[in-house]
Structures are given as C-alpha cells and as structure tokens.
A and B are shown apart, each in its own frame.
Chain A
Amino acid sequence: MNDVKMERFKYDDELTKLFIFATVIWGFVALLLGVTVAFQLASWKVNMGLEWSTFGRLRPLHTNAAIFAFVGNAMFAGIYYSTQRLTKSRLFSDVLGRIHFWGWQLIIVAAAISLPLGFTTGKEYAELEWPIDIAIAVIWVVFAINFFGTLVKRREKHLYVALWFYIATIVTVTVLHVVNSIAFPVDFMKSYPVYAGIQDALVQWWYGHNAVAFFLTTPFLGIMYYFIPKAANRPVYSYRLSIIHFWSLVFLYIWAGPHHLLYTSVPDWVQTTAMVFSVMLWMPSWGGMINGLLTLRGAWDKVRTDPVLKFMATSVTFYGMATFEGPLLAIKSINGMAHYTDWIVGHVHSGTIGWNYMIISGMLYYLVPKMWNTTLYSVKMANAQFWLATIGLLLYMMSMWTAGITQALMWRAIDETGKLVYPNFIETVVRIVPMYWVRAFGGVLILAGFILMMYNLWLTIKKSKGLEEQEYMAPAMEKVTSEVNQTAHRKLEGLPTLFTVLTTIAILVGGIIEITPSLISDTFVERDSEIKPYSPLEIAGRDIFIKEGCYVCHSQQIRPMPDEALRYGPPSTAAESVYDRPFQWGSRRIGPDLARVGGKYNDMWHFRHMYDPREVTPKSIMPEYTWLFKKKFEIKTLPKKIKVMTALGVPYTDHQIKNTVLLAQKQAFEITKGLNVDGVDMKMQNKEIIALIAYLQRLGVDGARSRELKKQVRSEQ
C-alpha cells in the first residue's frame, strides 16, 4: 500500500466575507430602489421632479443593482467559498481575489453614478457605457484567471457538478458581454452599437435572456448543488441526473433568447426556433429542480426548523415555478397576450426574488454562522424574514398577473363594429394602478424582511468570539492517475481545459445558428429607399430619449395583431429600424407604443405633454420633464456623432456631414417658430425639448410615406 502524502493548506475565507458584506449592502440598495420605482408607478409624484430620480433613470439602476451588485456579489461569495472546498485548495491568488472584489465594487459605484446622470446605452441589462463595459471585461478576466488557476492547483481530481456550472457561467458571460457591448465611442461616456435594428435586437435579447440564464441561474444551480447537500448533510440525489441537467441546460438555454422578440419583425424561423427550444428547456430545468428537492429526502423535518434549508427548498420550488412559467410565456399565442404587460414583470420577479433572493438568504444563513464560528443570533427573526419575503413575493406576483392579464385583455378588446373598446390607452393604465399599490406593498414586505436579515446577521457576527484561520489537510493530487475503468465523463471532468472547450461549443451552437445569418446577410432586411437616416437634430433628440430611459415605458414595435393595427397603425417592418442604434423596441408598454407617433399630435401637444403630462392626458402616470425646457441640447458633439454613424454605415450625404450643426439649428428654428405661434419664446430653440420633439415627430413618418408610395404604384398599375 502506498503512503499517502498529506498537504496542509488554508482557505481564503476573508475574500468570501468581503463579498458577503457587499451582497448585504447592495441587496439593500437594490431592494430599496425596487420599492422606490414600484411606488413611482403607483404615484407619479414619487418621481420627485428631479431629472436624476425619474422612473426612466432609476429602473435601469434597480435592475443593474439587483443583477450585478446584489446577485453578482452573492454569486462570487458562493463560488469562492465552494470552489476552494470542492478543489481542496486555497484560491489561486489572494491578490487577484482582492482586485476582483474592489474592481467589482468600483464598477457598481460607477453604475450608481452614471445611470442616474443619464449615461446609458439604452440596452436593457447592458445599459452601462463603454468605459465601464471595458472595466467589467477586465475584472471578469481576473475572476476567470483566479477560478481556473484554482482548478489547476486543485487536490481533488474530480470536478464536482457545481464547478461545471461555474465554468459555464464564466465562459458564457464573457462571450455575451463582449459580443453585445461592441460599440463605437463618440466621447468618454457616449457610444453607438455596431449593430442596428433587428440585428441589434437579436444580439441584445440573446444577451438579455442569457444574462438571466448564465448570471442569475447557472451559478446558483452550482451553489444549489453545493449548499443543499452541505446543509442537509446528504449527498446529491442523482449525480447522473446532474450530468443530464448540466449539458441539456447549457445547450438549450442559449437558443431561447429571441422569444423576447415574438411577433416582431425578426424572421419567423428565428422566433419559432426560440419558442421550441424554450419549451424544451422545461426538461433540464425541472430535472435540476427535482434533483435539488430530492436531495432533501430524509431531511424534510429539518426544512421545518432550519432557516438555511427552508430558504433553499423554497428557492428551488420557485425556480421550478419560474422555469415552468418562462416556457409557457414563450409560446407564441400566450406571448402575444403577455408581452409588453406586467405579467412578464411578475415572472421576472418570481425568478429573481423567489429563486435568487431566497437561495442567497439561505446561503448567507449557512455561511455567516459558519465563517464567524458561532450560531445564528435568532432563528425566529430568520423565520419572520422568510414569511415576509414569501407573502411579499406572492402579493407581487399575483398583482402583476392580474395587472398584466387585465391590461392585455383591455388592449385587445374589439367591439362588434370592429372598433377598440378602450381606444384611449390611459384607460388601461388607470385600471391597473391599484395593482401597482399592491405590488409596492409586497415590495415593502420583501425589503422589511431583508432589513431583518441584515440585523440578524449583524448580531450573529457581533456575538462571534472570532476564529483563527483554520488549517486543513488533504492528499496531494497525483499527476498521472492510474485508476482503471474510468467512465468517459470522469476522464473529461479531470481535464478542465477540454471540459471548458466542450462547454463553449455547447453554448456557441445556438447563438451562431440564430444570430450569425442576421449579422451577415442582407436578406433579413428588405431595404426601403424611403427610410432615411435621422437628421442631426433628430439624432440629438433620440439621444435624449435614450438618456431619459423612455424605452423602459414605451415600445417602438407594432406587432401584426388587429388591436395593435387599430391602435397604432400597420405592423412595424425590419426596414424601418435599419438606422436605429441602439434599437428601441422596448419590452413593456407602461405608456403607448411610439413607433408611429410622428405626426399623430402637433408639436405643441408634445411640448405641453413633456412639461406636464396630465395637462394633455388626465390621470397619466408619466413624470414631468421640466428640465428639458431649461437644458440646451448637445450641439458640439453632433458632428462627431454623425461621423461615427457614417463610419458605421449610415448613408449621410457630404452636405449633412459638413453642415451638421447648421442643419440642426435650422430644424430647431423651424420647430420653435411653429411653437412661437402659440406663445413659446424663440429662445427655446436650443433647448432639449425641441430636439426631442424633432425625434418624436419623425417616428414612423418614413414608413408611412413608403406605404403611401407603394399604394400609389399599385393603383397606377
């Protein structure tokens, strides 16, 4: 018998502790922002009349804080803690760990400053501007080096299933972030994406959906596979099932992104593919859920008493519910009703609160007492948080289901004469405002529970007498294994590089098939010579539209449905958004679609509407944008913007490129002159409101002219 060489080592738990603190702090910020934006929809006065605190600017801050700050830090805490123990090795580098931690916090602070100031790319969940995007890429690489470095120096040959999910997370987030963030900078905090129109939409929602998949889901499935067996002191229910779960999930998930674009001008085959693969996702998702829950077999009595297992069992149950609802919503006929409504918002929160918040809470209740060598200060307090979060979430989901289905049915209602029953969009908003109050109340309960957890964890740490860094021993890993009868998968798991390559191939197949043709082929977009690029002033106005986050409440994509045709006009075509960088199709209609708003109202209507929405639309919940009437639109950067657009392939004429400023001033003068008839001062011509009006009045105008010309040609024939 060979002597086993034992090695001594210590885990770097200080880094995990840092990420735990960050998780708790940012979790509070994210939830507070969530409650704030929820109240803003219930009462427009909560927008507070400040440009930095409108719903349009705070909602992206809320989503970024929740995803990248709260969930991100929790993910790093869980990964660093479990990876060291699963590899029986200290992290590859303490220094890289600290660079990762402080770099990530700096990125979050940069986001917290830049988003309320209006620096945004206008792409959901990818709003941060290019310098911050580069910082994210750098810090992510630091994280990857530290993680893979730890795998290289591991003492456990076998890579446990949790580590596979971490590998998939690191690889896929890298691919998604890099591909979706490619942009041409205009200046330090402004850029335009290299993609336009449907290409941008496809890339963005391939990113957006898979950010959910590989940032909010796969790392936490790894955490589930580590912490549930650990907390229940039971092995994972079925290791075989975990293999099927992993490979099926990473292969299928990436295909599902375009289900966010059903009934849009994206090609039909892409939509159908996304729908079919979304439905197939049921299988691995539920396989994972079943595996997680059955790991608790024989330990169900503990679920009743142990807060860790209580939160984890609930999180896995919500994961099952959310991954049932997701494919359901991806079925075209159901999506036709649910899309653009609050049903989607409810679904998203059943995942982020039900799955992420719950599993993070369970993980924190496991980690804090263990790492500070003490017991939890109060189990009662943890139970109180559990019920506050569960009841709050149920109120949230039920109110959003009700609001979503109510509004969808009202939008679609057509009477026997073929007219809309609710032609005035605001009627459908007023009807669901009570649900917004219920949602906000649910959010307050969730936040209150979180504060209780913060207090509980703080008292737990306070009562700790401290712990000296513990030393561990494990056998050194032999370089050449002599084991016989290894299964192929076991060999594969011993080779992290090959495993990573195969995972990369699995996640790339779907993306390549769905997206590459649209990036290269012109056949996707039928060119229309009547669709012209935006004028310089309209570009300035469009940038204001993006800066104010108008896209979070207004879509610009009319679907081929009778009620939408009656309410907004003919369906949007791919050609109409060929110059849209970024695309602005939106994902929710808190206000009406704007794809064909150009010419629907006169300039004065927009002028009054932006100053006081309730003056022209009684009971509107839109904030007042009074600063647009004081601030000058950016004219200095316009020539650079036009040059960047030209470099990206937008066919501006030499005249437009050489006379950008002059053309913008001329158009602004004409608009203000028209408003002057109704008493608006000519001094307003350099204000942001004029540029915004120019942009809004352009929307859908070229498409209408094109249809008119085609009609004339047909009638002449």
Chain B
Amino acid sequence: MIREFLLKINQPWLPTLGTALFVGIFVGMLIWINRRGSNSYYEEASFLPLDEGVKSER
C-alpha cells in the first residue's frame, strides 16, 4: 500500500505543493516577526555577538 502510494507521487502537482508550502511559511513568518512588542527583543538579540561575558579580574 505504501509502495502504491509512493508510485503515485510522480506527479507535477508536487512542485506546486512545495511552492505553496513555502509561500505559506514565508507569509506566516512575515506576520510573526512583526508582532507587536517584539521590537525590544530583536534589538536586544542583535547585540548578542558584542557581548562575550565579563573578563574576570581575578
């Protein structure tokens, strides 16, 4: 049954599904990253490489 199903996968609608999937994820991501109140968090995250811990004087 699995084989029968996989045999039918050879269809041109697959790329369309893949594209639709990507567009869906992409649009979702755009909405998500622009949520209200996320500005301060992204601002903070963008500074992470500049902080590598405090050098101990000991």
Known interface pairs A160-B49, A269-B14. Does A247 touch B29 (Cβ–Cβ under 8 Å)? Answer: yes
A339 to chain B, nearest CB (A): 21
Give the residues from 1 to 22 in chain B that come closer than 8 angstroms, CB to CB, to chain A.
3, 6-7, 9-12, 14-15, 17-19, 21-22
Known interface pairs A487-B38, A490-B41. Does A243 touch B53 (Cβ–Cβ under 8 Å)? Answer: no
* Binary contact track B19-41/A, C-beta < 8 Å → 1, others 0: 10110011001101111011001
A523 and B7 form a contact (CB under 8 A): yes
Give the residues from 485 to 525 in chain A that come closer than 8 angstroms, CB to CB, to chain B.
485-490, 509-510, 513, 516-517, 520-521, 523-524
A162 and B49 form a contact (CB under 8 A): yes
In Å, the complex CA distance between A62 and B5 comes to 43
The answer to whether the Cβ of A304 comes within 8 Å of any Cβ in the partner chain is: no
In Å, the complex CA distance between A485 and B43 comes to 15
A487 and B10 form a contact (CB under 8 A): no
Known interface pairs A267-B10, A487-B41. Does A88 touch B15 (Cβ–Cβ under 8 Å)? Answer: no
Chain A: number of interface residues, binned into ranges: 35 or more
In Å, the complex CA distance between A247 and B26 comes to 8
Contacts of B37 in A (CB 8 A): 485, 487
* Binary contact track A58-86/B, C-beta < 8 Å → 1, others 0: 00000000000000000000000010011
Stretch of A229-237, A539-547, A664-672 that contacts chain B: A229-237
| B interface residues, how many (CB within 8 angstroms) | 39
The answer to whether the Cβ of A474 comes within 8 Å of any Cβ in the partner chain is: yes
* Binary contact track A203-238/B, C-beta < 8 Å → 1, others 0: 000000000000000000000011101100101111
B15 and A273 form a contact (CB under 8 A): yes
Q: Which residue of B lies closest to A227 (CB)?
A: B49
Interface of B is mostly: helix
A243 and B29 form a contact (CB under 8 A): yes
Contacts of B30 in A (CB 8 A): 244
A230 and B19 form a contact (CB under 8 A): no
The answer to whether the Cβ of A381 comes within 8 Å of any Cβ in the partner chain is: no
Contacts of A156 in B (CB 8 A): 48
The answer to whether the Cβ of A473 comes within 8 Å of any Cβ in the partner chain is: yes
B10 and A8 form a contact (CB under 8 A): no
B48 to chain A, nearest CB (A): 4
Which of A85, A160, A252, A524 is the one whose CB lies under 8 Å from B45? A160
A248 and B48 form a contact (CB under 8 A): no
Q: Which residue of B lies closest to A246 (CB)?
A: B29
A521 and B42 form a contact (CB under 8 A): no
Contacts of A523 in B (CB 8 A): 7, 10
B8 to chain A, nearest CB (A): 9
Contacts of B15 in A (CB 8 A): 269, 272-273, 276-277
Q: Which residue of B lies closest to A236 (CB)?
A: B46
Residues of A whose CB lies within 8 Å of any CB of B are 6, 8-9, 82, 85-86, 88, 155-156, 158, 160-162, 225-227, 229-230, 233, 235-240, 243-244, 247-248, 251-252, 255, 267, 269, 272-273, 276-277, 280, 470-474, 485-490, 509-510, 513, 516-517, 520-521, 523-524
Q: Jot down 7 A-B pairs with beta carbons below 8 A, ordered by A.
A: A86-B49, A226-B49, A255-B18, A269-B14, A472-B53, A489-B32, A513-B18
Q: Which 5 A-B pairs have the closest CB atoms?
A: A472-B53, A235-B46, A273-B15, A85-B52, A471-B56
